[in-house]
Chain A
Amino acid sequence: MSDDQPRRAPRPGGARRSASGGQALSGWLFITPVIVILGVFLVIPIAMAAWVSVSDWNGRGNPFGGAAGFVGVDNYAAILSDPGLQRQDFGTALRNNVYYVMLVVPLQTIVSLTLAVLVNRRILQARGFFRTAFYFPSVTSTVAITSLFLFLFTASGAVNRLLATIGVDGPNWTQDARGVLHILLAGLGVDSAPVALQGSPLLGVSWWNWLAGPSLAMSVFIIMAIFTTSGTFMLLFIAALQNIGGEVEEAGVMDGASGWQRFRLITVPMLRPTLFTVITLGLIGTWQVFDQIYTAGEAGGPSKTTLTPAFLSYQTSFTGNRWGQGAAIAFVLFAIIVAMTAVQRWVLRERDTVPRRKRFVLSDGTLAADAQGGR
């Protein structure tokens, strides 16, 4: 295990002082490029955006040289409290993304854990092949996968052909704005908003529309997210499973536990740190839906049901020229991500810590975060 102790052999005073002086200088020299680039392209921009989010800059001129005026919290009010299209769009984007998070995070966790458990069977042949197959979608770009999925889910595309073979008449997925829950309710005979749900108390979106569920178009992106991220998370779970090792499992067998009992009572609790990592990364990643919406080129369509806060922020600034509002959306999104992670940390807080393993998983987690965010 690493420690932060200085690794120096004791040396006579004079040489030692000059050596640590040299270390201080070269230490700073070595780290300067990273500090400068992250500072200039990450820290300073956040400060600049904070100013823009309370200004009325319209994209012309220099917002830091008099081309923008201070408007206080107007931009935040426009998306959070003032009745109007902007608030409604933000509410719609939030709704879409909430369903995306609620479905993708649990499903990708379950799918990747299942894949890991299946692939990790010691007696299994061709483990390498299966791991490769499941991981491959993770290395490809979101743009290429989006292009592919939009084709697979066209009205007469591959998916509907397959559905047709079992007698199901598939919808025109990517153009269908109907919410999944609305479709289910329609099946029960409820096809318009009951009076109780006609009010629109929250961000200008009615209860009925909050409860629409993800649209069929959004469902395509949900399936795609599970398809592309499950491989990465599978690798994390495999690493953790191999850490547990066979001994614990054997002890369970000796005690007469069935396969499912062993999985639920032994494996899952021991996977807790990894589950924590996967869910955290999932929560952070699923709030950042941008590339696929941009690539689809429908500006969040059909009927804004694939609009997400990240895309709305971009669109508001770059095509709507309301830069202040776009920046405000970005900060609200940031706050949501921080809050979600905090809540999840609290819910899944550890009662018994296993520092060694946690550290190992964390260093792997950064790999996954990088692969997923593509940064």
Chain B
Amino acid sequence: MAATTTHRAGQGSRLGTAVTMAVLVLLAVVYIYPFVVQVLTSFKGNADAVANPLGMPLVWTVDAYQRLFGSSDYPLWFRNSVVVTLAVTAGRVFFNSLAGYALARLRFPGRGLVFSCLVAVMAVPGVVLLIPKFLVINTLGIYNTFAGLILPLLVDAAGVFIMKNYFESIPASVEEAARIDGAGPFRVFWSVVLPMARPALITITILSFQGSWNELSHFIVAASDRDLFNLTRGVASLTSGALGSSADYPLKMGAAALMTIPVAILFFVFQKRIMGTSDGAVKG
């Protein structure tokens, strides 16, 4: 009796698994194929891209990439994106963890107030701040400078929270020992606690890198100088048809594919960590 039940359940779930698998494969194609089209199109000639949007290139060519690097500002945009992203990521990792540590461990008057203010700040939607941000950047005289591109992004409230939560999970006894040995607060933070917060630091790094690499709206209001365009701004100008690119699909797809590579690498390197938010999180 028990054996038959198990048997039947097994059969049913095997059929179910096959159906699930088929549905998943179909869905995976839907999610992946657009990127395949993107990459393939970038290796096509213009006429080929329009006439044959789905298949392999008739003739493989790197013409689009040559034009991207030869006659557009792509290298400049790339460099600007790298500069801004590295500065923002470094700033966020450092300042967010400093503040997160203070909120988690140090007792100072006004801590509760600071905490509530951060919660309130997180609730403000980003696009609402476009005009306000421009006003302050303009007033401070850092419009059209790297300072204007970088400074406003240098900390983020969400990152402070991630660090705070993590620091709270580290046993306090470790710090006590160092403190009794006479280490000052910064020393304790820098050489004792921070090295223990590696997983959270990696999370912050990924989020900051991805966030600032993909950021567009802030850069639109912080600068108009073409020398300060970063990748999102530059590729957006290509997409909307600047430089006579309105029907130059291989160029556009190449530009979009290339700008995706750095975040894609980051994603694949830290895949376990990103996806791991689910695996083994609270299990057991």
Q: Which positions in A face B, CB cutoff 8 Å?
A: 2, 6-9, 19-20, 22-28, 30-31, 33-35, 37-38, 40-46, 48-49, 52, 62-64, 115, 118-119, 121, 123-125, 128-137, 139-152, 154, 156-158, 161-162, 227, 231, 235, 238-239, 242-243, 245, 259, 284, 287-288, 290-291, 294-298, 310, 313-314, 317-318, 323, 326-327, 330-331, 333-334, 337, 360, 363-364, 366-367, 369-371, 373-375
Contact = CB atoms under 8 A, between A and B. Distances in A.
Given A124-B21, A288-B126, A294-B236, A9 B216 contact: no
A46 B124 contact: yes
17 contacts: A7-B176, A23-B185, A26-B184, A27-B106, A31-B114, A33-B99, A34-B118, A34-B160, A41-B152, A48-B139, A137-B34, A147-B238, A151-B37, A156-B50, A295-B236, A297-B237, A314-B130
Interface of B: 13, 16-17, 20-21, 23-24, 27-28, 31-32, 34-35, 37-38, 41, 50-51, 53-54, 95-96, 98-99, 101-103, 105-111, 114, 118, 121-122, 124-137, 139-140, 151-152, 154-162, 165, 168-169, 172, 175-176, 179, 184-186, 189, 203, 207, 210-211, 213-217, 220-221, 231-232, 235-241, 249, 252-253, 255-257, 259-260, 263-264, 266-267, 271, 274-275, 277-279, 281-283
Contact of A374 (B31, B98, B165, B214): B214
Contacts of B130: 290, 310, 313-314, 330
A371 B210 contact: yes
Given A24-B106, A235-B277, 19 more contacts: A31-B102, A31-B103, A37-B152, A38-B155, A40-B140, A42-B129, A49-B131, A118-B20, A123-B13, A139-B210, A151-B249, A152-B53, A161-B54, A242-B282, A242-B283, A334-B125, A363-B162, A367-B203, A374-B210
B236 A297 contact: yes
Nearest to B101: A30
A331 B124 CA distance: 11
Contacts of A46: 124, 129, 132
Given A48-B139, A49-B135, A123 B256 contact: no
Contacts of A30: 98-99, 101-102, 106, 185-186, 189
**DSSP majority for the B interface?**
helix
Contacts of A337: 125, 128
